[in-house]
Amino acid sequence: MTTKKRRVKIPPATEAEVMFKSNLQCCICQQKGDHIHHLDSDPSNNNIDNLALLCFKHHDEATITGSLSKKLSRQTILNYREHHYKVIEFSRQRQLGTFDKPVETMTEEKFLIIAKNATIIVEIEKIKEQYFAENWDKRSGILGLLNKFTNHSNHRLALDIFEFLSLIAGQTRGGMTYNLGSSVFETVLEFFPSFYDEEKRPQAIELAKKCIHLGDNIAYDSFIHLNNIAIAMWGLTTIKFIYRSAKEYSLTELIEEVNRTYNELESTLQRPERKDLGDAQEIVKIFRADLDEWSLSFPILKPHLMKRLEIDNKK
C-alpha cells in the first residue's frame, strides 16, 4: 500500500491571505498569479509558509519532472517569495503615508494659523447658537460679537461667517429687522477679503457670489414678504459693495452676476397680482442706476419714497 498523502483543499481564508500578501502576483515574475503552489512535497500541508502564488509558467517550472530543464527549487521560490512580500508590504505602507511623510510643509506659523482658525470657528459656532436662541430684536447685537475677530480675518473664516450670514438672510421673511439688515451689511464689509491676492482670488470670487446671493435674498424677501423697502436697501447696498470691489479689479464674472441678479429682481417685482410693489420697483431702479457711484451710502430718494422709508423704518 502506498502512503502518498492526498491533496487537501486550501481553506478559503488561507487562500485569500496568500493572494493578498502576493498582491495577486506571481512571486517570481510579478505577472498575474494563477496557481497556489505547495513548496514541500506534502500537498496536504496548507500552512501559509508552505504556499506561494505562481503564474502558470513558473508553476510548470516548479513542478517539472524528468526533464533537462532546470527545475525551480523550493529554496529559490522561498527567496523570491520573501522578497516579493517585503516589496508589497513596503509599497502599501508608503501609500498609507507611514514612511517618508513630508514634514517640511507644516511650519510652526502654518500650524498656529490652523489652530487659531479652529478656535475662532468654535467661537463662531457659539455665537450662531446664541443668535438662533434669541428674538429678532436681540439678534443684531449678537451678530456684532463677530467683530472681535476682524483682525484675524482670512478666507477660511470669511467663508464660515458668510455661510452664517446666508442662513440669516435666508430667514429674512421670518422677521428681519432694520438693525439686523444693517449688521449683516457691516459684517460683510468687515470680513470680505480683498481681491488683491491673485492666488486667493478664485476663493474671493466664490465668497463674493455668496454675498451677492445673500444681499439678493434680503432684498427679495423684504420687498415681497415683509413689504419693507427700508430693510431691502441693506440687501441692495451689500450687492453694491461687491459690485464696486469687482469693478476695481475688472472681474466681469461678478459684474455679470450682479446684473443677472438685478434682472431677476426686476422681473420678479413685475407681478400683475401685486399692486403694492410700485415703490419696490422704483427703489430697485434707483439702486441699479447708482451701482457705479463710489459711495456706499443710500442714494437720494424722491419725497414719496422718503416718506415710505420713514414708515417702514418703524415697522
# chain residues binding Zn ion, by CB under 5 A: 5
H or E element at residue 117: helix 108-133
> Closest approach of Cβ 49 to Zn ion, in Å?
20
> Closest approach of Cβ 84 to Zn ion, in Å?
10
User: Under the criterion CB under 5 A, does residue 26 sit at the interface with Zn ion?
Assistant: yes
Q: Which of 18, 28, 246, 309 binds Zn ion (CB under 5 A)?
A: 28
Stretch that binds Zn ion, among 25-33, 116-124, 285-293, 305-313 (CB under 5 A): 25-33
Q: Judge whether 236 and 181 are in contact, CB under 8 Å.
A: no
**Cell for 306?**
422718503
Site for Zn ion in 221-260 (CB under 5 A): none
User: Under the criterion CB under 5 A, does residue 58 sit at the interface with Zn ion?
Assistant: yes
**Cell for 60?**
510548470
Stretch that binds Zn ion, among 28-36, 60-68, 168-176, 186-194 (CB under 5 A): 28-36
Long-range Cβ pairs for the range 104-107 (8 Å, 24+) = none
- Residue of this chain nearest to Zn ion (CB atom): 26
Long-range Cβ pairs for the range 55-58 (8 Å, 24+) = 55/26, 55/28, 55/29, 55/31, 57/29, 58/26, 58/28, 58/29
User: Under the criterion CB under 5 A, does residue 55 sit at the interface with Zn ion?
Assistant: yes
Q: Judge whether 155 and 193 are in contact, CB under 8 Å.
A: yes
> Closest approach of Cβ 25 to Zn ion, in Å?
8
User: Under the criterion CB under 5 A, does residue 53 sit at the interface with Zn ion?
Assistant: no
> Closest approach of Cβ 32 to Zn ion, in Å?
9
Backbone angles phi, psi at 171, to 5 degrees: -105, 15
Amino acid, single-letter form, for residue 252: T
Residues of this chain that bind Zn ion (CB under 5 A): 26, 28-29, 55, 58
